[in-house]
Amino acid sequence: MHKHHSALGLAATPLGNPVADIANSRPAQPVTLLRPHAARRAARFFVDKFPGRSLYAVKANPSPELLKILWDEGVTHYDVASIGEVRLVHETLPEAVLCFMHPVKAEEAIAEAYFGHGVKTFSLDTLEELEKIVRATSRDGVAPTDLNLLVRLQVSNEHAKLSLGAKFGAAADEVKALLFAVRQAADALGICFHVGSQAMTPSAYAQAMSRVRDAIVEAAVTVDIVDVGGGFPSTYPGMEPPPLEAYFEVIHSAFEALPISYSAELWCEPGRALCAEYASLLVRVEKRRGSELYINDGAYGALFDAAHIGWRYPVRLIRDGGSNTRPMDFSFYGPTCDDLDHMTGPFQLPGDVANGDYIEIGMLGAYGCAMRTAFNGFGAERTEIVDDEPMATLYAGETKRSNVVTL
């Protein structure tokens, strides 16, 4: 892996731009461009500004290098969803605190996490899962006394671009009995929820916190942890959210109004917001057919979401001298033989894009890097570290920006 630095004072030409330099080497495979400084900046933002504790949602990007970056910037707790993620984070960051936040877990996974990796925090949304957790963490018939158990509520996902509200969460008529039962089994009782991925308004959290308040009042239990989950957005074409500080203010205000213990903790689980800006992808155009571009990565690579849920990513043409041609809308085909390997976009690029041109596709640090396959024999790619700015950011004012070359 090489590191490419941006040159200063080159605002009028792409020569010296790290991405352009890589494109000029004419790579035949996709190149993943990593920006560690962007992940550091996002981590510092959450550590410094979120009014509670931030747990990184590992599923968004489980790269060990990224995990180490986040740890170095003060992220000490990690939301893991499988025994594979438990093992990965424990091996990579032995001192990290792991929270097993998938509401449905194999009993063997619970036991290994608790006895083998020191995991004390688990989420659940049914009495059956509570019984499973207690059984798996008991020894010689003696139940543990050190569990942090968080009951996941079902909340609205109406403000999210990707709903995560159908699969998990206790319904309103189940919560009282569940909270009461968990209170008897847990050292610390928590409530958690998920407003969906890419929540576009802070009011999503206000609505969910209202459900938390109702649940606490109805069950009349002492709550030690309130976890507002993930959903914190990044910025994409057609999806420009309010500043993250606005989300934090709404969450803090709602938390302060809850009838909870004065010592209760506030948690969140950012995934996308911590890693989206960490990576982008440099691809080559192998064929043009009208407004369709055949590129060398796609639905079975880093562009899964672009194909399957119509996610739009920022794109730019990387070409010496740029282009003066008016932009037009394109769709992409990936490299496999599958018709489903199609990203409809639209992706706006100069109208003279041609075979052999290179395109940077931004904001792929979240989920893009994590969901690659080697289907059809494709998927080998080069990785480079660059120090220019990501193609879009919600953290522009947090640190001094590099001198970004406009292509």
CA-CA distances (angstroms) from residue 209 to 36, 140, 204, 333?
Answer: 33, 39, 9, 42
Q: Which amino acid is residue 370, in one-letter code?
A: A
Q: Residue 236 and residue 347: Cα distance in Å, rounded?
A: 11
Ranges in the chain, pLDDT < 70: 1-16, 399-407
CB-based contacts of 185, cutoff 8 Å, min separation 6: 130, 133, 134, 143, 147, 149
CATH topology of domain 51-269: TIM Barrel (3.20.20)
For the segment 216-231, what is each residue's pLDDT rounded down to a tens digit?
Answer: 999 999 999 999 999 9
The pLDDT, as a whole number, for residue 8 is 31
Q: Which residues pair with 285 in a beta bridge?
A: 295
Q: What pLDDT does 406 receive?
A: 30
Q: Say which CATH superfamily domain 2-35+278-386 falls into.
A: Lyase, Ornithine Decarboxylase; Chain A, domain 1 (2.40.37.10)
Distance of CA 263 to the CA centre of its chain: 29
The pLDDT tens digits for 385-396 are 999 999 999 998
pLDDT value for 124:
97
pTM confidence score: 0.91
CA distance 370 to 303: 10
pLDDT (0 to 100) of residue 377? 87
Specify the pairing of strand 315-318 against strand 358-361. Answer: antiparallel
- Is 46 within 8 Å of 73 (Cβ atoms)? no
The ranges assigned to domains in the chain are: 2-35+278-386, 51-269
Using alpha carbons, list the distances in angstroms from residue 21 to 18, 26, 69, 70, 397. Answer: 5, 9, 25, 28, 27
Structure tokens at 362: 């931004």
In tens, the pLDDT along 133-165 reads 999 999 998 999 999 999 999 887 877 777 777
In the prediction, which pLDDT does 401 show?
37
Ordered alpha helix ranges (H), 228-297:
244-256, 272-275
